[in-house]
Amino acid sequence: MSTGLSLLLALPLGLVAATTLAGQGRPPHWEAAVKAFDDLVSADRVVGGSLVLARAGTEIARHDVGLADRERKQSVDTGTLFHWGSITKTLTAVAILQLRDRGLLSLDDPITRWVPELRQIHNPFGSMDGITLRMLLSHSAGFQDPTWPYDEGKPWEPFEPTRWEQLVAMMPYQEVHFAPGSRYGYSNPAYIYLARVIEAITGDPWQSYVYKNIWGPLGIGESYFNRTPWHLAERRSAGYTLNREEGGEVRLRDNGREFDPGITIPNGGWNAPVADLVTWGSHLASVAAGQTPGLVISRETLEEMWRPVGEVREREQMGLGFFIETEGKRRLIGHTGEQGGFRSFIYFDPVSQAVVVGVVNTTNNARPEESDRAFRRAAGAARELLGD
């Protein structure tokens, strides 16, 4: 049986996969990475997704599968616009370090210096003034993980809070979960608070700051936040979730092509084609390798951000805004994302300047533990590509 036919039979009915390779030869681990990615697609009944490998900013191999929009029968291709969830946090982290490097803040500043409303949160471990920007960047401040306490999927539940005052109103009814600085504990609200610091110092809305100080200098031109610009709207992927209904039946829910992350955009609002994520990872890797001037951040600052601060799990540690994976003797940098049905990852090797990006537009809520394992296997197999 041919490789192409085997691949098609492995995918859910109606999905078509296409792999393109640039230049000569196939990366040694490419077939294994594609298989793991397609295993995720099949197991989670994913509607569509992409896997891309690049080196020194040039795409080497690409695997597109399925549909960006099932209702429109719109295939995933090189122009498809995906939602990247928490990979957005890498933008917020770099922005904070930019301001530090310009002498406008210190990472040891108390967050309450810039966001005094946080003093309303109960802290059984001491004063809220003892929580620093560094702790928020490394997810060690003790703040809660989700932004909203609503997670049962009821029709009246909001997607995300849309206004800052909604978060402030909840602060007197929250508490710090562990001693700040004592361990790792992932927090989405922490990055909203960091965005408030950026806005307080610069006077720019967070989105405007990113456009002017990160995307603009790097020529990242098709990334955006919130609603898709009119001229890009036809390329936007819808998001899907697979849910188990009360009677036990599993159904696929179409979440639509647009949703409003509201005030939570700094922790998960990036929309873009895969190529823009490749540009982002490639630039950071190139700067770290000393091959490219630091247009948005210096090599020394990147090394500081990629210094382990806390352990996440075996072979994975947290830096400042980035996760650090160890694969043998290699140190890999990256982040994952999940929101609105989309799941994604980006990893890069600062030595080889290889970048791998993966995204699917469907999240399986009917079997979350098995789904998480399949996603981790796909991400792990993709990381192996960075050594090719």
CATH of the domain at 285: 3.40.710.10
Read off the pTM: 0.94
> Do 123 and 195 sit in the same domain of this protein?
yes
pLDDT at 24: 57
> Do 110 and 241 sit in the same domain of this protein?
no
In a domain, 254, yes or no: no
pLDDT at 3: 37
> Do 60 and 202 sit in the same domain of this protein?
no
CA separation for the pair 357, 386 (Å, rounded): 11
Of 207, 235, 254, at which residue does a domain stop?
Answer: 207
> Do 381 and 333 sit in the same domain of this protein?
yes
pLDDT at 23: 67
pLDDT at 160: 86
Q: How far is CA 327 from CA 89, 300, 377, in A?
A: 23, 23, 14
In a domain, 217, yes or no: no
Q: What is the 3-state secondary structure (H, E, C) of the chain?
A: CCHHHHHHHHCCCCCCEEEEECCCCCCCCHHHHHHHHHHHHHHCCCCEEEEEEEECCEEEEEEEEEEEECCCCEECCCCCEEECHHHHHHHHHHHHHHHHHCCCCCCCCEHHHHCHHHHHCECCCCCHHHCEHHHHHCCCCCCCCCCCCCCCCCCCCCCCCCCHHHHHHHHHHCECCCCCCCCCCCCCHHHHHHHHHHHHHHCCCHHHHHHHHHHHHHCCCCCEECCCCHHHHHHECCCEEEEECCCCCEEEEECCCCCCCHHHHHHHCEEEEHHHHHHHHHHHHHHHCCCCCCCCCCHHHHHHHCCCCEEEECCEEECCCCEEEEECCEEEEEEEEEECCEEEEEEECCCCCEEEEEEECEEECCCHHHHHHHHHHHHHHHHHHHHC
Cα Rg, the chain, nearest whole Å = 20
> Do 97 and 68 sit in the same domain of this protein?
no
pLDDT at 104: 98
> Do 78 and 99 sit in the same domain of this protein?
no
In a domain, 198, yes or no: yes
In a domain, 216, yes or no: no
> Do 293 and 381 sit in the same domain of this protein?
yes
pLDDT at 294: 92
pLDDT at 2: 34
Range of the domain at 284: 3-87+224-246+266-387
> Do 350 and 303 sit in the same domain of this protein?
yes
In a domain, 260, yes or no: no
pLDDT at 9: 40
> Do 122 and 234 sit in the same domain of this protein?
no
Would you write out the chain's pLDDT as a tens digit for each of its 388 residues?
333 333 434 455 456 788 888 765 789 999 999 999 999 999 999 999 999 999 999 999 999 999 999 999 999 999 999 999 999 999 999 999 999 999 999 999 999 999 999 999 999 999 999 999 999 999 999 999 999 877 776 778 877 888 999 999 999 999 999 999 999 999 999 999 999 999 999 999 999 999 999 999 999 999 999 999 999 999 999 999 999 988 889 999 999 999 888 899 999 999 999 999 999 999 999 999 999 999 999 999 999 999 999 999 989 999 999 999 987 788 999 999 999 999 999 999 999 999 999 999 999 999 999 999 999 999 999 999 998 8
> Do 143 and 20 sit in the same domain of this protein?
no
Q: Are 378 and 36 within 8 A, CB to CB?
A: yes
The number of distinct structural domains making up the chain is 2
